[in-house]
Structure 1
Amino acid sequence: MRTPGGSGGVPLAAVPRWSQVPAAPVTDYTGTAPPLHAYPVFPYDDAINSRFAIWQGDISQLEVDAITNTSDETLSEYNDVSERIMAGAGPDLKEEIITRALECRTGEVLVTSGYNLRCRHIIHTVSPKYVAKYHTAAESSLHNCYKNVLHKAGELNARSLALCVINTPRRNFPPDLAAHVALRAVRRYLSSTAAPRLVVLGGACGPELAPLSALAPLYFPRDSREADAARWLLRDPDPHHERRIRIIHNPHTHTQPDDDTSLDDELAVEAAAAFARACSPDTQRLLPAASPAPHARRTQIHSDEYERLLRRARSEDLSEVSGIGCLYQSGVDRLGRPVVIFIGKWFPIADIDLDKALLYLIKLLDPIVRGDYVIAYFHTLASSANHPPFSWLKEVYTVLPYKYKKNLKAFYIVHPTFWTKMMTWWFTTFMAPAIKAKVHNLPGVEYLYSVMHARQLDLPAFVTEYDMTINGLHYFQPDTNNT
């Protein structure tokens, strides 16, 4: 391995392998709904787990054969990963990119020397942007990024690869969806090669790696119990491996061709991209305008109002609301979905500007609700002084776009009172029916442990202290069989 000048590198011996990370307690799903798969899709394999690691830190400091850089097509994008790599590699890397006019297409890879970094190669790739309307193409393209990086590392005979989280925040990928794509690609690659290669999935911040750590047991089970539990949790084990597009030679006949013609994932992405270009705004301007229906006009009005509020939320000073600490993201659940915590006791209705509270809500949730998410509301020791007026709740529910309701998978109310249950029933029945089936009243914190690990919940001390007083030993030994 190349060892450039300088010190402070991180040796691979300091990176714990996934096989060395203890398995977490596993929920027993037997006796509940039937499993989604008859057998574990990704069986327990300690040899594969010893060649995989999830590591929090600066991957440009790892002493590996190759590292991954995520950038744009001209390799000039600045993000947390690329800035560290460009700074560590020195001016020679930037000079090569400029003088050779290097470019890399979305989903593909390009290799340069590591220069002053502690690696021999830098494998550059470009993540697609996520647009919900074309989510299939975006997922396939991101899958190609990981697949091409891994196979290029193999062609370079790299025995160790530091693999960054390729989808940067500006690409808008839902974190849990992107984590599934990354873990699936790595597991498939390590299962297909017997070479003693080590793949380190690394990131500089905890929130970036939280979905990966939460979902890794589905693809890299550390014992037979985790492999078996994945049969209930892993819905689509390998969509990119099986997905194909069939081309019928004559679209006006129902006669099937003699042999099916299929495109692989790369061509599927190109076809979707061509369709997206055909439906670009420039093309749409050439089409005759149609009069929108009344419902469409109302939807457009609400969309315009939300965009206006989003711009305000990004530009105004909301520190007086954020400083209260009543609303924040706290880890992920067992399916890798972000968990949003709301502490009712800390929501001072009389002393807070509700307009700014709405702006802060939008600022916090807008990047989260692009994918599935859950909310846990703690009514612990809350009083009438913490109950928001129904007029404000109705305004919030009306102005938030459909993605907030659609991608909300569960709304847990912990320590509800009789008044809370009644008001929740009334509100979800007459004002918010779209989320009625997603609301769950839980008498204690321990009932959350079947859907999210305790260490993912960052709760105020008074919540856990109150929970211990009413639930006693159940707090320490929760019984979630009936949850």
Structure 2
Amino acid sequence: MSEELIIPISEMEGITPEYQRLMDKSNNVDYKWIADNNIFVQVGCDMEGVPVFLLNASNLPPTSQIEPVLIGILKTLEQIVKGNRYTLLYSHALLKQESTPDKSWLNSFYQMLPRNYKKNLKNLYILHPSGWLKILLLAMSPFLSEKFWSKVEYLDYIQEIPGVLDRSNIISKLPQSIKDYDKGLLETPEVTEQVVSGMDTLGKEYLSSFASSFNFFSSTNPSSWTSPK
């Protein structure tokens, strides 16, 4: 990264103590490791020149090692969000259980972000969303604006990736396991329907376990995340 492209953290809008803490540790993050493991990579730009990034959930490390990855993602986007938009494509399929954050993680993470990341998100595409994920996001509705929801688009299959994006570049960066998973969905639609139905049921049961007393997301704070030793 060239020094002139780095945005001083003081220029970000609404810096939170947790965000400051993470950025203070950014010099110790191995950005090359994140890219080499195909966790978070840029996959070109859309037709308007807005940079597009791919987050491969199937390649995420265990939650005990998630902090450096999070710092790397935020620091990469920090160069853009001060004055420009960005698009994120999140590949959700095959997320490992040991890499799945606690139910409160999404809300804690969203609340931690400076305003730049939120207002300059152009589109959020979620590839292969599960019923559980959809319901979890729905449970977060009190914390999310209508503008956020207008940016979200679910993609059930790889072929639904919009043509305004660099589809060939995106597909080349998707893990082969995800491509095989997608192929299986296309070949067995009746099985897919059963799986989605089952995930919806599981999601509702999961949601009901914590959606009470307005205490949706109270058990985890990002400050408890630890870096690998």
TM norm. shorter chain > 0.5: yes
**Cα drift, residue 449 of structure 1:** 3.2
Number of residue equivalences: 177
Instruction: Confirm or deny that 1:466 pairs with 2:181.
Output: yes
State the superposition RMSD in angstroms. Answer: 2.9
Q: Any idea what SS the aligned residue of 2:48 has?
A: coil
Choose which of 381, 399, 407 in structure 1 pairs with 2:112.
Answer: 399
Partners of 2:181 and 2:163 lie apart in 1 by: 20
Pairs within 5 Å for 1:216-227: none
Query: Of the candidates 389, 392, 413, which is equivalent to residue 102 of structure 2?
Result: 389
User: Which residue identity lines up with residue 4 of structure 2 in the other structure?
Assistant: R
In 2, the alpha carbon distance for the partners of 1:316 and 1:328 equals 19
CA contact 1:375–1:412 (8 Å) conserved in 2: yes
TM-score (normalised: structure 2): 0.65
Structure 2 CA distance, aligned partners of 1:331 and 1:402?
24
1:353 matched residue in structure 2: 65
**Distance change >3 Å, CA 397–CA 465, structure 1 → 2:** same
The residue aligned with 2:75 is 363
Query: Which of 388, 406, 413 is residue 126 of structure 2 equivalent to?
Result: 413
Q: Is the 8 A contact 1:358 1:396 kept in 2?
A: no
Does the Cα contact within 8 Å between 1:373 and 1:409 map onto a contact in 2?
A: yes
Alpha-carbon distance between aligned partners in 2 of 1:399 and 1:418, rounded to the nearest angstrom: 25
Percent of aligned pairs with the same residue? 27
Q: 2:4 aligns with which of 164, 170, 173?
A: 170
Distance 1:378 1:301, change over 3 A: closer
Question: Quick check: which has more Rg, 1 or 2?
Answer: 1
**2 CA distance for matches of 1:339 and 1:356?**
21
Change (3 A) 1:355 1:466: closer
Return the alpha-carbon distance in structure 1 between the equivalents of residues 6 and 99 of structure 2.
34
Q: Runs of 5+ in structure 1 lacking a partner?
A: 1-78, 80-167, 174-298, 473-483
Q: 1:72-91 alignment to 2 at 5 Å? A: none
The alpha-carbon deviation at position 405 of structure 1 amounts to 0.5
5 Å matches for 1:134-283? 170=4
- CA distance in structure 2 between the aligned counterparts of 1:301 and 1:319, rounded to whole angstroms: 22
Q: What is the aligned partner in structure 1 of residue 166 from structure 2? A: 453
Give the direction of change, closer, same or farther, for the CA distance of 1:305–1:378 in structure 2 (3 Å limit). closer
User: 1:444 is matched with which residue: 157, 168, 171?
Assistant: 157
Q: Which segments of 5 or more consecutive residues in structure 2 lack a partner in the other structure? A: 8-12, 188-229
Q: Helix, strand or coil for the counterpart of 1:441?
A: strand
1:408 and 1:342 map into 2 onto residues whose CA distance is: 14
- Aligned counterpart, 2:39: 326
Q: CA deviation at 1:389?
A: 1.7
Counterpart for residue 135 of structure 2: 422
Residues 334 and 400 (structure 1), Cα distance of their counterparts in 2 relative to 1, 3 Å cut:
same
Normalized per residue, the structure richer in helix is: 2
Contact 1:332 1:456 in 2 (8 A): no
Give the structure 2 partner of residue 136 of structure 1.
none
1:447 deviation in Å?
Answer: 1.2
